[in-house]
Structure 1
Amino acid sequence: MQFSSEVENLFTQEEIEEILEDEQQFYIEHAEKNWLERYFKIKAMANETQVPSIVSSISDMPHESSDFKKSKTEMYALKAIQVSEWLKKLDSAIQSLSPIEQELIELKYLRKRNDGSRYSDEVIYPQLYIGRKKYYKMKKEALDILGRKLYGVFSERGHS
Protein backbone atom coordinates (compact mmCIF):
# COMPACT_ATOMS: atom_id res chain seq x y z
CA MET A 1 0.00 0.00 0.00
CA GLN A 2 2.84 2.39 0.78
CA PHE A 3 4.20 2.01 -2.78
CA SER A 4 0.89 2.99 -4.40
CA SER A 5 0.55 6.07 -2.20
CA GLU A 6 4.12 7.09 -3.12
CA VAL A 7 3.29 6.66 -6.82
CA GLU A 8 0.13 8.71 -6.40
CA ASN A 9 2.27 11.53 -5.00
CA LEU A 10 4.47 11.48 -8.13
CA PHE A 11 1.59 12.35 -10.45
CA THR A 12 -1.26 14.77 -10.12
CA GLN A 13 -4.79 13.46 -10.69
CA GLU A 14 -4.85 15.34 -14.00
CA GLU A 15 -1.60 13.66 -15.14
CA ILE A 16 -2.94 10.21 -14.24
CA GLU A 17 -6.18 10.90 -16.13
CA GLU A 18 -4.21 12.14 -19.16
CA ILE A 19 -2.01 9.01 -19.18
CA LEU A 20 -5.08 6.76 -18.96
CA GLU A 21 -6.84 8.75 -21.71
CA ASP A 22 -3.77 8.46 -23.99
CA GLU A 23 -3.68 4.71 -23.35
CA GLN A 24 -7.39 4.38 -24.11
CA GLN A 25 -6.96 6.40 -27.33
CA PHE A 26 -4.12 4.06 -28.38
CA TYR A 27 -6.38 0.99 -28.05
CA ILE A 28 -9.31 2.73 -29.75
CA GLU A 29 -7.10 3.61 -32.74
CA HIS A 30 -5.70 0.07 -32.81
CA ALA A 31 -9.21 -1.42 -32.96
CA GLU A 32 -10.33 0.98 -35.69
CA LYS A 33 -7.22 1.07 -37.92
CA ASN A 34 -5.90 -2.48 -37.62
CA TRP A 35 -9.17 -4.37 -37.34
CA LEU A 36 -12.44 -2.62 -38.10
CA GLU A 37 -11.24 -0.57 -41.09
CA ARG A 38 -9.77 -3.76 -42.63
CA TYR A 39 -12.92 -5.81 -42.08
CA PHE A 40 -14.45 -5.52 -45.56
CA LYS A 41 -11.14 -6.20 -47.32
CA ILE A 42 -10.46 -9.29 -45.18
CA LYS A 43 -14.06 -10.46 -45.56
CA ALA A 44 -13.74 -10.15 -49.35
CA MET A 45 -10.55 -12.21 -49.24
CA ALA A 46 -12.37 -14.88 -47.22
CA ASN A 47 -15.17 -15.03 -49.79
CA GLU A 48 -12.82 -15.22 -52.76
CA THR A 49 -13.58 -18.31 -54.81
CA GLN A 50 -10.65 -18.11 -57.18
CA VAL A 51 -8.81 -21.43 -57.20
CA PRO A 52 -5.12 -21.28 -57.99
CA SER A 53 -3.50 -23.33 -60.69
CA ILE A 54 -3.00 -26.88 -59.47
CA VAL A 55 0.35 -27.43 -61.09
CA SER A 56 2.93 -28.78 -58.70
CA SER A 57 6.60 -28.21 -59.03
CA ILE A 58 9.10 -30.91 -58.27
CA SER A 59 12.33 -29.94 -56.65
CA ASP A 60 15.34 -31.85 -55.42
CA MET A 61 15.82 -29.22 -52.69
CA PRO A 62 15.01 -30.38 -49.16
CA HIS A 63 11.68 -29.04 -47.85
CA GLU A 64 13.42 -27.07 -45.08
CA SER A 65 15.69 -25.29 -47.54
CA SER A 66 15.27 -21.53 -47.70
CA ASP A 67 15.26 -21.80 -51.52
CA PHE A 68 12.28 -24.15 -51.51
CA LYS A 69 9.24 -22.43 -52.96
CA LYS A 70 5.79 -23.29 -51.72
CA SER A 71 3.24 -24.28 -54.29
CA LYS A 72 0.55 -21.81 -55.32
CA THR A 73 -2.04 -24.16 -53.87
CA GLU A 74 -0.25 -24.28 -50.53
CA MET A 75 0.16 -20.49 -50.43
CA TYR A 76 -3.54 -20.03 -51.24
CA ALA A 77 -4.53 -22.48 -48.50
CA LEU A 78 -2.32 -20.73 -45.93
CA LYS A 79 -3.75 -17.32 -46.83
CA ALA A 80 -7.29 -18.68 -46.54
CA ILE A 81 -6.49 -20.05 -43.07
CA GLN A 82 -4.95 -16.73 -41.95
CA VAL A 83 -7.98 -14.79 -43.16
CA SER A 84 -10.32 -17.20 -41.40
CA GLU A 85 -8.32 -16.92 -38.15
CA TRP A 86 -8.38 -13.11 -38.39
CA LEU A 87 -12.17 -13.05 -38.77
CA LYS A 88 -12.62 -15.52 -35.88
CA LYS A 89 -10.44 -13.38 -33.57
CA LEU A 90 -12.41 -10.24 -34.43
CA ASP A 91 -15.74 -12.04 -33.99
CA SER A 92 -14.63 -13.48 -30.64
CA ALA A 93 -13.59 -10.03 -29.39
CA ILE A 94 -16.92 -8.54 -30.52
CA GLN A 95 -18.84 -11.35 -28.80
CA SER A 96 -17.19 -10.36 -25.50
CA LEU A 97 -19.00 -6.99 -25.64
CA SER A 98 -22.47 -6.38 -24.23
CA PRO A 99 -25.34 -6.96 -26.71
CA ILE A 100 -25.90 -3.23 -27.27
CA GLU A 101 -22.15 -2.64 -27.77
CA GLN A 102 -22.09 -5.52 -30.26
CA GLU A 103 -24.97 -3.95 -32.18
CA LEU A 104 -23.22 -0.55 -32.13
CA ILE A 105 -20.01 -2.04 -33.59
CA GLU A 106 -22.00 -4.03 -36.14
CA LEU A 107 -23.96 -0.99 -37.33
CA LYS A 108 -21.00 1.41 -37.33
CA TYR A 109 -18.19 -0.78 -38.70
CA LEU A 110 -19.48 -4.07 -40.11
CA ARG A 111 -22.33 -2.89 -42.33
CA LYS A 112 -22.44 -0.51 -45.25
CA ARG A 113 -25.17 1.52 -46.86
CA ASN A 114 -26.34 0.76 -50.40
CA ASP A 115 -23.89 3.35 -51.76
CA GLY A 116 -20.97 1.56 -50.04
CA SER A 117 -20.41 4.15 -47.32
CA ARG A 118 -20.65 3.54 -43.61
CA TYR A 119 -23.61 4.64 -41.53
CA SER A 120 -23.09 7.92 -39.68
CA ASP A 121 -23.28 8.09 -35.89
CA GLU A 122 -26.38 10.29 -36.19
CA VAL A 123 -28.19 7.45 -37.96
CA ILE A 124 -27.02 4.76 -35.53
CA TYR A 125 -27.77 6.06 -32.03
CA PRO A 126 -31.51 6.51 -32.63
CA GLN A 127 -31.62 2.90 -33.88
CA LEU A 128 -30.10 1.81 -30.57
CA TYR A 129 -32.67 3.92 -28.66
CA ILE A 130 -29.97 5.84 -26.79
CA GLY A 131 -29.00 9.49 -26.69
CA ARG A 132 -26.07 11.05 -28.49
CA LYS A 133 -23.91 11.50 -25.38
CA LYS A 134 -24.46 7.92 -24.18
CA TYR A 135 -23.77 6.61 -27.70
CA TYR A 136 -20.35 8.29 -27.94
CA LYS A 137 -19.39 7.13 -24.45
CA MET A 138 -20.47 3.56 -25.26
CA LYS A 139 -18.67 3.62 -28.63
CA LYS A 140 -15.46 4.79 -26.99
CA GLU A 141 -15.66 2.08 -24.30
CA ALA A 142 -16.49 -0.68 -26.81
CA LEU A 143 -13.56 0.30 -29.08
CA ASP A 144 -11.24 0.44 -26.06
CA ILE A 145 -12.26 -3.10 -25.04
CA LEU A 146 -11.82 -4.39 -28.59
CA GLY A 147 -8.42 -2.73 -28.94
CA ARG A 148 -7.19 -4.29 -25.70
CA LYS A 149 -8.48 -7.74 -26.65
CA LEU A 150 -7.06 -7.59 -30.17
CA TYR A 151 -3.73 -5.90 -29.45
CA GLY A 152 -0.81 -8.21 -30.23
CA VAL A 153 -3.04 -11.09 -31.35
CA PHE A 154 -0.99 -11.87 -34.47
CA SER A 155 2.21 -9.94 -33.76
CA GLU A 156 4.08 -12.95 -32.38
CA ARG A 157 3.77 -14.60 -35.79
CA GLY A 158 4.46 -11.44 -37.76
CA HIS A 159 1.12 -10.89 -39.49
CA SER A 160 -1.58 -8.55 -38.34
Structure 2
Amino acid sequence: MQFSSEVENMFTQDEIEEILKDEQQFYIEYAERKWLDRYFKIKAVANETQVPSIVSSISDMPHGSSNFKKSKTEMYALKTIQASEWLEILYSALQALSPIEQELIELKYMRRRNGGSLYSDEVIYPQLYVGKTRYYEIKKEALEILGRNLYGVFAERGFS
Protein backbone atom coordinates (compact mmCIF):
# COMPACT_ATOMS: atom_id res chain seq x y z
CA MET A 1 0.00 0.00 0.00
CA GLN A 2 2.84 2.36 0.82
CA PHE A 3 4.50 1.61 -2.53
CA SER A 4 1.46 2.72 -4.53
CA SER A 5 1.19 6.00 -2.63
CA GLU A 6 4.91 6.64 -3.25
CA VAL A 7 4.41 5.97 -6.97
CA GLU A 8 1.42 8.32 -7.08
CA ASN A 9 3.62 11.08 -5.63
CA MET A 10 6.30 10.53 -8.30
CA PHE A 11 4.13 11.93 -11.12
CA THR A 12 1.77 14.85 -11.34
CA GLN A 13 -1.71 14.31 -12.72
CA ASP A 14 -0.68 16.10 -15.92
CA GLU A 15 2.32 13.77 -16.32
CA ILE A 16 0.14 10.70 -15.83
CA GLU A 17 -2.37 11.97 -18.40
CA GLU A 18 0.48 12.64 -20.88
CA ILE A 19 1.86 9.11 -20.41
CA LEU A 20 -1.59 7.60 -20.95
CA LYS A 21 -2.16 9.81 -24.01
CA ASP A 22 1.16 8.63 -25.51
CA GLU A 23 0.23 5.02 -24.80
CA GLN A 24 -3.18 5.47 -26.42
CA GLN A 25 -1.57 7.05 -29.49
CA PHE A 26 0.88 4.14 -29.73
CA TYR A 27 -1.96 1.58 -29.91
CA ILE A 28 -3.94 3.68 -32.38
CA GLU A 29 -0.94 3.96 -34.72
CA TYR A 30 -0.14 0.27 -34.26
CA ALA A 31 -3.68 -0.76 -35.30
CA GLU A 32 -3.61 1.52 -38.33
CA ARG A 33 -0.06 0.88 -39.60
CA LYS A 34 0.52 -2.77 -38.78
CA TRP A 35 -2.98 -4.08 -39.41
CA LEU A 36 -5.53 -1.88 -41.15
CA ASP A 37 -3.17 -0.30 -43.71
CA ARG A 38 -2.06 -3.82 -44.73
CA TYR A 39 -5.58 -5.27 -44.88
CA PHE A 40 -6.17 -5.19 -48.66
CA LYS A 41 -2.72 -6.55 -49.49
CA ILE A 42 -3.02 -9.45 -47.03
CA LYS A 43 -6.57 -10.17 -48.16
CA ALA A 44 -5.38 -10.37 -51.77
CA VAL A 45 -2.65 -12.85 -50.82
CA ALA A 46 -5.12 -14.97 -48.85
CA ASN A 47 -7.64 -15.04 -51.70
CA GLU A 48 -5.18 -15.58 -54.54
CA THR A 49 -5.82 -18.81 -56.42
CA GLN A 50 -3.01 -18.62 -58.94
CA VAL A 51 -0.63 -21.54 -58.61
CA PRO A 52 3.06 -20.76 -59.08
CA SER A 53 5.11 -22.60 -61.63
CA ILE A 54 6.16 -25.99 -60.35
CA VAL A 55 9.85 -26.63 -60.66
CA SER A 56 11.37 -29.50 -58.78
CA SER A 57 14.85 -29.27 -57.47
CA ILE A 58 17.15 -32.03 -56.44
CA SER A 59 19.74 -31.46 -53.80
CA ASP A 60 22.11 -33.60 -51.82
CA MET A 61 21.93 -31.11 -48.95
CA PRO A 62 19.91 -32.17 -45.91
CA HIS A 63 16.48 -30.51 -45.55
CA GLY A 64 17.57 -28.50 -42.49
CA SER A 65 20.58 -27.04 -44.30
CA SER A 66 20.59 -23.29 -44.91
CA ASN A 67 21.49 -23.89 -48.56
CA PHE A 68 18.44 -26.06 -49.19
CA LYS A 69 15.93 -24.25 -51.41
CA LYS A 70 12.29 -24.61 -50.45
CA SER A 71 9.95 -25.26 -53.31
CA LYS A 72 8.01 -22.37 -54.80
CA THR A 73 4.79 -24.28 -54.26
CA GLU A 74 5.55 -24.77 -50.57
CA MET A 75 6.45 -21.11 -50.08
CA TYR A 76 3.31 -20.01 -51.92
CA ALA A 77 1.10 -22.28 -49.83
CA LEU A 78 2.71 -21.04 -46.60
CA LYS A 79 2.15 -17.39 -47.57
CA THR A 80 -1.50 -18.07 -48.35
CA ILE A 81 -2.02 -19.90 -45.05
CA GLN A 82 -0.26 -17.18 -43.06
CA ALA A 83 -2.32 -14.48 -44.76
CA SER A 84 -5.53 -16.40 -43.95
CA GLU A 85 -4.47 -16.74 -40.31
CA TRP A 86 -3.61 -13.04 -40.19
CA LEU A 87 -7.13 -12.21 -41.44
CA GLU A 88 -8.73 -14.55 -38.89
CA ILE A 89 -6.83 -12.81 -36.09
CA LEU A 90 -7.95 -9.39 -37.33
CA TYR A 91 -11.59 -10.48 -37.70
CA SER A 92 -11.51 -12.03 -34.22
CA ALA A 93 -10.14 -8.80 -32.72
CA LEU A 94 -12.90 -6.85 -34.49
CA GLN A 95 -15.50 -9.00 -32.74
CA ALA A 96 -14.34 -7.56 -29.39
CA LEU A 97 -15.51 -4.10 -30.49
CA SER A 98 -19.03 -2.76 -30.07
CA PRO A 99 -21.28 -2.97 -33.16
CA ILE A 100 -20.86 0.73 -34.00
CA GLU A 101 -17.08 0.49 -33.58
CA GLN A 102 -16.98 -2.56 -35.84
CA GLU A 103 -19.03 -0.82 -38.50
CA LEU A 104 -16.85 2.29 -38.31
CA ILE A 105 -13.62 0.29 -38.73
CA GLU A 106 -15.09 -1.73 -41.60
CA LEU A 107 -16.38 1.36 -43.42
CA LYS A 108 -13.22 3.40 -42.87
CA TYR A 109 -10.49 0.80 -43.39
CA MET A 110 -11.94 -2.34 -44.95
CA ARG A 111 -14.12 -1.10 -47.81
CA ARG A 112 -13.23 0.83 -50.90
CA ARG A 113 -15.14 3.13 -53.19
CA ASN A 114 -15.67 2.15 -56.83
CA GLY A 115 -12.49 4.01 -57.78
CA GLY A 116 -10.44 2.08 -55.24
CA SER A 117 -10.03 4.88 -52.70
CA LEU A 118 -11.08 4.60 -49.07
CA TYR A 119 -14.14 6.40 -47.76
CA SER A 120 -13.51 9.72 -46.03
CA ASP A 121 -14.64 10.41 -42.47
CA GLU A 122 -17.17 12.95 -43.79
CA VAL A 123 -18.92 10.20 -45.76
CA ILE A 124 -18.90 7.68 -42.91
CA TYR A 125 -20.22 9.51 -39.85
CA PRO A 126 -23.64 10.33 -41.38
CA GLN A 127 -24.00 6.62 -42.26
CA LEU A 128 -23.46 5.79 -38.57
CA TYR A 129 -26.04 8.41 -37.51
CA VAL A 130 -23.57 10.19 -35.22
CA GLY A 131 -22.18 13.69 -35.20
CA LYS A 132 -18.66 14.54 -36.28
CA THR A 133 -17.31 14.93 -32.73
CA ARG A 134 -18.82 11.67 -31.53
CA TYR A 135 -17.55 9.92 -34.66
CA TYR A 136 -13.95 10.87 -33.89
CA GLU A 137 -14.36 9.78 -30.26
CA ILE A 138 -15.66 6.37 -31.37
CA LYS A 139 -12.93 6.04 -33.99
CA LYS A 140 -10.19 6.83 -31.48
CA GLU A 141 -11.56 4.39 -28.92
CA ALA A 142 -12.10 1.62 -31.48
CA LEU A 143 -8.56 1.94 -32.84
CA GLU A 144 -7.08 1.91 -29.36
CA ILE A 145 -8.99 -1.22 -28.35
CA LEU A 146 -8.11 -2.90 -31.63
CA GLY A 147 -4.43 -2.00 -31.22
CA ARG A 148 -4.36 -3.32 -27.66
CA ASN A 149 -6.04 -6.58 -28.70
CA LEU A 150 -3.69 -7.12 -31.64
CA TYR A 151 -0.42 -5.97 -30.09
CA GLY A 152 2.04 -8.81 -29.63
CA VAL A 153 -0.29 -11.44 -31.11
CA PHE A 154 2.33 -12.67 -33.58
CA ALA A 155 5.00 -12.95 -30.92
CA GLU A 156 2.63 -15.03 -28.77
CA ARG A 157 1.70 -17.32 -31.68
CA GLY A 158 5.20 -17.62 -33.08
CA PHE A 159 4.45 -15.69 -36.29
CA SER A 160 6.85 -13.15 -37.67
Bin of the TM-score, shorter chain as denominator length: over 0.9
Task: Give the whole-Å Cα distance in 2 for the aligned partners of 1:5 and 1:133.
Answer: 36
| Alignment RMSD (CA, Å) | 1.3
Give identity over the alignment, percent: 79
1:30 aligned residue? 30
55-64 or 109-118, larger mean C-alpha shift: 55-64
| Aligned AA (1:69) | K
- The number of equivalent residue pairs is 159
TM-score (norm 2): 0.94
TM-score (norm 1): 0.94
Deviations 1:52-78 (A, max 9, x none): 122221222111111111011111111
Determine helix, strand or coil for the equivalent of 1:154: helix
| Aligned AA (1:97) | L
Task: Give the whole-Å Cα distance in 1 for the aligned partners of 2:40 and 2:53.
Answer: 26
1:133 aligned residue? 133
1:18 aligned residue? 18
Determine helix, strand or coil for the equivalent of 2:153: coil
CA apart distance, 1:155: 3.8
1:113 aligned residue? 113
2:5 aligned residue? 5
Segments of structure 2 that go 5 or more residues without pairing to the other structure are none
Task: Give the whole-Å Cα distance in 2 for the aligned partners of 1:3 and 1:132.
Answer: 43
1:87 aligned residue? 87
Task: Give the whole-Å Cα distance in 2 for the aligned partners of 1:30 and 1:134.
Answer: 22
Deviations 1:75-118 (A, max 9, x none): 11111111111111111111111111100000000001111111
CA apart distance, 1:153: 1.8
Misfit runs of 4+, over 4 Å: none
